[in-house]
Structure 1
Amino acid sequence: MNLATLQTFIIVAEKKNLSLAAQEIHITQPAISKQLSALESHFGAALVERKGRGISLTPAGEVFYRHAREIVDLINRAERDIRQMSGEIRGRMIVWASTIPGHYILPPIIGAFKKEYPDVQLVLQIGDSKEAIRKLLEESAHLAAVGMMPNNKRVEGVKFFSDELVVIVPPEHPLAARPEIYLQELAKYPLVWRETGSGTRSVVESYLARGGLTPDKLNIALELGSTGAVITAVEAGAGLSVVSRWAVLKEQALRKIVTIKIKDYPMQRDLYLVYPRRKNKSPLVEAFIQFALKQTPPA
């Protein structure tokens, strides 16, 4: 029994079809059957049952599959850790990001990083800030890019960009002709807001609270689950909103949206790259952070 045999069994168990498994690992079906027979002889028990063109695992096969998966995962982890000890910038990194960094900031940075480090595989997943941090704490992500620094001793982070938040209205709105408004004026109009858990919403509401606008004084007409949906609703005349300037660069250029600054409480927030608090970060995570810090934000 060797690693290749374990990997073959795992593929067969997951594909539930010898033909598909053979295509996946580029060997013949008879070669797979021979490996399965060798495993069954070793354990003295049937591991698979053939059902027409498909196969299913026996109870013994289910037990062996779980252990085989654990063994292969441990070997893969050992290989990754040894590569990291050597300082190689390679491997797979999962980044969870909130809407603004995920949609507007990270994609060009990831593209440029990939050109410099072609052996790296980067996966970008997008949710709200709370979900991104939760994925990091669950060890389902190596890095999180969010609009607020979490108050959690298990993580630490570094500021990588500053984001300006602006009021947005459709061109026909009464406020559209004004470059600036006062914070209290927001209470006079229907608002289109992000959902609870959004980093943008948290930052905006903290600014509003400083100016005496608590949530009970706001006319929140809509709560939507993405910045894109908020912008579309504002375009349609559902109300005004406060979003990242980067999120509306395209709509502003097309004159579908007008941006307005708040005169008495200019809204800015920092964006952070957050990672698990450890003595040493992996070379890949460290390389990506240093690369991102050198980049220029969108115009």
Structure 2
Amino acid sequence: MDHQLLVFTTVVEKKNFSRAAEELHMTQPAVSQYIQSLEQQIGTRLLERSNKFVRLNMAGEIVYHHAKEILSHYTRMQYLVDDLMNKASGDLFIGASYSFGEYVLPGMISDLLENYPLIKPSITIRNSKRIVDLVVNNELEIGIVEGEFNQQSLNIEPFADDLMYVTMSANHRFANQSIVTKEELEAETWIVREEGSGTREATDKMFDRLQLNPQHKMEFGSTQVIKESVESGIGISLLSKWAIQRELSSGTLRLVEYEGLPVRRKFSIVTRTVPFQTKAMELFLKMLRDRYR
């Protein structure tokens, strides 16, 4: 591994030479020497230093970005070699959108660890657009997203169907109606996800397809918060069946019956185009595909 880059990125992230030295089990003069040597090779200063802080200058920003990518390739190379010799092990960086990440992924991770305890999964849950960005930037190995994306640098593989229902509180006035009209739906408060969310994309497409033009919308950044808001009677929302199974069983949430529902969408696996995959990554992808085949 390139120790100059490792020392440099550690100093940047710890924002302090002493803390970086402690993290790397080195002396502070040795850390300083590594930084000076790197700056000499690059041909310019990379860090602005004072008694209170260490921070990147513009050249340092460029070097830091590429150093993280280079170190990631070193780590991946080591895992691939280890996989040839040993059982599946090492870090596995997985990202998922909220609907899948909060309500489906935990059970899958539990199954993975039960069978392969040497794998160390790290989970990131964000909206679909953010997960795709993190895969593109080499910060995640696998993304699980909903919605449509067109990224030439990525493999996008649909693997599961999701049904989405308009959901209301069990005490909502619609619960006692056999028919809900278009006008009633448009007059209702709709609780929606933020832009960039696959659930928001599905909701907007549903509004267009059903020619609904709701006058009152509330925007939240979490499926769990939306679900709790619907339960409390604040409004209605389009939610994944995966997210509301427990509440439907307990009777705290109910489904709004309306022509054209439920909404069907695809969940997709997003990965970078790489010549090799770690065994941990291969095993998790196989688990995903087998479960929803």
TM-score, shorter chain, exceeding 0.5: yes
Counterpart AA for 1:81: M
> Match for residue 101 of structure 1?
100
Aligned residue among 255, 258, 262 for 2:254? 258
Matched, 1:235 2:231: yes
- The CA deviation at 1:5 is 11
8 Å CA contact 1:166–1:262 kept in 2: the answer is no
Where does structure 2 lack aligned partners over 5 or more consecutive residues?
38-50, 55-62
Counterpart AA for 2:142: L
Secondary structure of the equivalent of 1:175? helix
Counterpart AA for 1:203: A
Distance 1:187 1:72 in 2: 49
**Higher radius of gyration, 1 or 2:** 1
Secondary structure of the equivalent of 1:294? helix
8 Å CA contact 1:167–1:243 kept in 2: the answer is yes
> Match for residue 288 of structure 1?
284
Distance 2:147 2:20 in 1: 45
- The CA deviation at 1:150 is 1.0
- Percent identity at matched positions? 22
Distance 1:265 1:72 in 2: 46
Aligned pairs for 1:93-242 within 5 A: 93-177=92-176, 186-211=185-210, 213=211, 217-242=213-238
8 Å CA contact 2:95–2:123 kept in 1: the answer is yes
Distance 1:152 1:140 in 2: 16
Distance 2:107 2:243 in 1: 15
Distance 1:26 1:36 in 2: 10
Distance 1:115 1:238 in 2: 41
> Match for residue 48 of structure 2?
none
RMSD of equivalent CA atoms: 4.3
> Match for residue 63 of structure 1?
none
What is the aligned length? 281
Secondary structure of the equivalent of 2:256? strand
Distance 1:202 1:247 in 2: 17
Cα gap change, 1:125/1:131 in structure 2, threshold over 3 Å: closer, same or farther? same
Which TM-score applies when normalising by structure 2? 0.73
Distance 1:154 1:12 in 2: 31
8 Å CA contact 1:93–1:121 kept in 2: the answer is yes
> Match for residue 45 of structure 1?
none
Where does structure 1 lack aligned partners over 5 or more consecutive residues?
43-50, 57-66
Distance 2:94 2:80 in 1: 18
- The CA deviation at 1:252 is 2.7
- The CA deviation at 1:283 is 3.3
- The CA deviation at 1:242 is 1.0
> Match for residue 59 of structure 2?
none
Aligned residue among 266, 274, 283 for 1:270? 266
